[in-house]
Amino acid sequence: MLSFELSEEHKEVERTVHDWAAAEVAPKIHDLDREHRFERGFLKGMADLHLLGICIPEEWGGAGLDYLSLGLVCEELEYVDTHLRVIMSVHVGLNCMTLWCWGTDEQKRKYLAPQARGEKIATYGLTEPNAGSDAVGIQSTAVRKGDGYVLNGEKVWISLADVADHFIVFAWTDQEKKKNRDHKGLSAFIVERAFKGFSSYTIKEKWGILAGNTGGFSMDNVEVPVENRVGDEGEGFRVAMFALENGRYTVAAGATGLIRACLDASVRYAKERKTFGQAIGEHQLVKEMIAQMVSDYDASRLLWLRAGWLKNEGKRNTRETSLAKWFATVQSERAASDAVQIHGGNGYSDEYPVGRYYRNCKAAVIYEGTREIHKVMQADYALGFRQDKPRRVELPAYKR
């Protein structure tokens, strides 16, 4: 039976995360954003609420909730600030869910379980100075040496680069395939911050998500044991795309929360601010912008909920997740722009949060597949040029 009603468990997840973020983050976020300062204490708060392993099974240290719960958490966190959702995207969506599905039991015991409990923080390293959307353009290498690999290369625009303990890193293990841009020459590895030759840094001059940590890292002859390879040699591209699909889901849900934040802020201001003898909410063109936010919020939420439902059912959702990510992020950019417009000159100041929403929203239109990448994907699906083939590893259905 088709139902749009959330379960009581889902509603409790929403309430819990909303209340925590409102009490613990909202009063501090203005200053943290202005100071470009990452607050590590939020990680403990999220761990205490079991958010850092929200949909990972209890046997591996997680909360064992479903994929809709993951989406609800991301929407509520980004309602307060984007950097909170980014933590969920890289730690849970890109790293933990990948290790859960692709990792060996030993990798799950050593890395996944402490990550799901929030004892260790994790992220994902694919992007390089000259390779973003073009994943096979990366230059990092992993050369087999005895019982391990020696990794060299540089990654950039990595969320939590200067914070995370563990990294899923992608590098070429077949140099001949690298020359021919054959993705079957890529492999994935778990790299620890403590490994010799690993160093990281923070990018100081960002435009948005200023309370979050973004940076890069270098690998200078980093020795990684063979047991830290994720999947078989040559499966790195498949691992990367699997991870991105789950990351995109969290981005879609989060962008939906940002639209709602813009809507709520705009409604409040439109009722309070008066021009020409009446509240600006009475002006037709202001109503038009607010109405657009309403429709964009509802449509974005329905799209990510559909993707989450498909995940719960164990059904392939690459197309649906791509559409949800593309639509929600693009509409969040419009919502933030209109929210600033509704606030007029005040929207251009730091007194109101809509300027921060505007700065924060843009990155999601770029990372985890630019809007252009997703447009091409959706067109290819419609034209029949793209069809999803069975994968060796799939995200398991939620076990109730």
Which residues are known to be catalytic?
Answer: 368
Q: How far apart are CA 227 and CA 283, in angstroms?
A: 64
> Whose CA is closest to 131, among 104, 168, 157, 94?
157
Q: How far apart are CA 174 and CA 149, in angstroms?
A: 12
| Residues 6+ positions from 1 with CB-CB distance below 8 Å | none
Q: How far apart are CA 86 and CA 206, in angstroms?
A: 15
Contact (CB, 8 A) for 273 and 280: yes
Q: How far apart are CA 181 and CA 93, in angstroms?
A: 27
Contact (CB, 8 A) for 111 and 99: yes
Q: 278 to each of 247, 283, 291, how far by Cα in Å?
A: 44, 8, 19
DSSP assignment of 245-278: HHHHHHHHHHHHHHHHHHHHHHHHHHHH-EETTE
Contact (CB, 8 A) for 290 and 267: yes
Gyration radius (Cα) of the chain, Å:
21
Contact (CB, 8 A) for 98 and 89: no
As a dihedral over the C-alpha atoms of residue 104, residue 106, residue 111, residue 116, rounded to 10 degrees, the angle is: 80
DSSP assignment of 212-226: S-EEEEEEEEEEEEG
Contact (CB, 8 A) for 364 and 332: yes
Q: 5 to each of 2, 68, 215, 235, 335, how far by Cα in Å?
A: 9, 12, 40, 39, 26
Q: Within 10 A of 102 (CB to CB), how many other CB atoms are there?
A: 20
